[in-house]
Amino acid sequence: MLALCLLGAITEDVVNHDPLTRFDTSVLETLHRHATPTGIAVFTLISRFGSAPVLTILALSGVLVLALRREWIVLGGWVAAFAGGSLLDYWLKLAIHRPRPGYADALIHNSWSFPSGHAMVSLVGYGMLAYVILLLRHSNRRTQLIVGGAAAFLIAAIGISRLYLGVHYFSDVVGGYAAGLVWLSACVSAVEIARRWRRRTLRLNPTS
């Protein structure tokens, strides 16, 4: 609910050109002034972890693994997370129609800016990956922190890379994270509800 409220607030600011958009410009200009060739090369590499080809490979690999393990409920949530996340990003971009920063022209053409698809889909994809890993393994607290921390670090790095490369505004990235968290929470909640319903059904009908 907090993520949904944050997404609504940021979207309203972007549509109405509220003070947040001036902060966007300030952040963009500051990062552009301090950009270096080495930094651009590093963040270009990081950004690729949130690209469509990489996340498609991750999605298909997860489908294969979960199907082989016959984790049908988790598989349904996995497919819904990736497919729904991509569709939600597409619809939001069409609805808001926010132009890209001027610096993006050299890298990206014919694409809207809000929300950041890299930020949104990477949060959904890597967040779902962390959830599935911890769900299918009986992990201790230390492992949970390592897996969750690694996923959070990668997701944050991808978002920062989009700012550094000048292809998104700050509010694009935060809005992408908010939208991604809304969808990830919905998918994880659906999986948890389905798994609990399944366990209850098995207890009541052991032969089913």
Question: If you average pLDDT over residues 153-174, what whole number do you get?
Answer: 92
pLDDT digits (tens, 9 = 90+) for 65-115: 999 999 999 999 999 999 999 999 999 998 888 888 876 666 666 678 888
pLDDT higher than threshold 90 for residue 151? yes
Residue with the bigger pLDDT between 10 and 106: it is 10
The pTM score is: 0.87
Q: Say how far residue 19 (Cα) sits from the centre of its chain.
A: 25
**N-to-C CA span, the chain:** 36
Residue with the bigger pLDDT between 164 and 200: it is 164
Question: If you average pLDDT over residues 9-17, what whole number do you get?
Answer: 83
Contact (CB, 8 A) for 181 and 30: no
Q: Given this model, what pLDDT does residue 108 score?
A: 66
Q: Given this model, what pLDDT does residue 45 score?
A: 94
In the three-class reduction of DSSP (H, G, I as helix; E, B as strand; rest coil), residue 83 is classed as helix
pLDDT higher than threshold 70 for residue 30? yes
Is it true that the peptide bond before 115 is cis, omega within 30 degrees of 0? yes
Domain boundaries, the chain: 2-204
Average pLDDT of every residue of the chain: 88
Nearest alpha-carbon partner for 85 in 155, 16, 148: 155
pLDDT higher than threshold 90 for residue 132? yes
Write the burial class of residue 54 (CB in 10 Å: 0-12 exposed, 13-18 middle, 19+ buried): middle
